[in-house]
Chain A
Amino acid sequence: MDVSVIRQESTLTVVNARAEFARAATWLHDFSAGMGLPNDLASRLLVVLDEVLSNVVNHALAGAVEGSREIRLRIRLRPEAVELEIVDDGPVFDPTFAPGTRADRQLGGAGLLFVRSLMDEVRFIRQGDRNCLTLCKKLAPMR
């Protein structure tokens, strides 16, 4: 990976507990504010972070003792895009493959619909024993 094109990045590790969501949101909000990201983009990132963390806790780490597992978050600002990475060590759970159509929105699929629609790119890879999800949103051209 060419790290020279990364303008700024920040990482945070949280555990699989709902109380951690607010801490993660504050971290992301602070990064967005610090980098001067547009409010609309900052809000989109907050929506997808909440959806993905909910998915990880409710699906990938379903059944795990609360607070016993780590979820690693990383946000990167590149010249052309912002990237949010979420890594957990649960069993394979690929949200890009999970149902997310309008038909199953009442069953919890709306969150995945939001993630796919609000981001320009959603990539999943299984790295060893970890789920690694990367969400990418292109930045509007500078005027």
Chain B
Amino acid sequence: MEILEARTGDMAVVHVVGQVNSGNAPELDERLKQLVGAGCRGIVIDLARLDHMTSAGFRCLLRVDRQVQGVAGKLVLCGLQGLTLELFEVGGFLEMLTIAATREEAMRQATVN
């Protein structure tokens, strides 16, 4: 797993590349929590280059989503494709998390006024 992030003001765009599993999900969890702790209120997670994510990764996303909502922020995901999209569908996560069709749309939705 590789985590690439770009911050502009209180907005962060995070690319998660490769695989998220029970071994590295805590690292993703930690990185995302650090962004919230550092004042990011709009967080976009781009999964276009993610190969797959196991349930440990989904639990991490749900936790961070709650944390971001707790500080009146917004977490938006984009770039769902292939097996990643299938897993979102199977687990019912499309309805539990905010998903955008494009990164631009995700950034617009994550902008907190």
Contacts and interface: CB of A to CB of B under 8 A. Distances in A.
Contacts of B91: 102, 105, 110, 113-114
Interface of A is mostly: helix
A21 B23 CA distance: 7
B56 interface: yes
B62 interface: yes
B21 A110 contact: no
B90 A21 contact: no
Contact of A54 (B56, B62, B82, B86): B56
Interface in B57-109: 58-59, 62, 82-83, 86-87, 90-93
A43 B83 contact: yes
Given A43-B52, A43-B83, A47-B52, A110 B58 contact: yes
Nearest to B54: A50
A113 B21 CA distance: 16
Interface of A: 18, 21-22, 25, 39-40, 43-44, 46-47, 50-51, 53-54, 102, 105-106, 108, 110-111, 113-114, 117-118
Interface of B is mostly: helix
Contact of A43 (B51, B56, B58, B62): B51
B34 interface: no
B56 A50 contact: yes
Contacts of B21: 21, 25, 46-47, 50
Contact of B19 (A46, A51, A102, A108): A46
Number of chain B interface residues as a range: 20 to 34
B23 A47 contact: no
A27 B7 CA distance: 37
Given A114-B90, A114-B91, 4 more contacts: A18-B22, A51-B55, A106-B62, A110-B93
A38 B104 CA distance: 32
B52 A46 contact: yes
B62 to A, nearest CB: 7
| Chain A to chain B: the 7 pairs with minimum beta-carbon distance, closest first | A111-B55, A110-B55, A50-B54, A117-B90, A110-B91, A102-B92, A50-B21
Given A102-B92, A111-B54, A44 B83 contact: yes
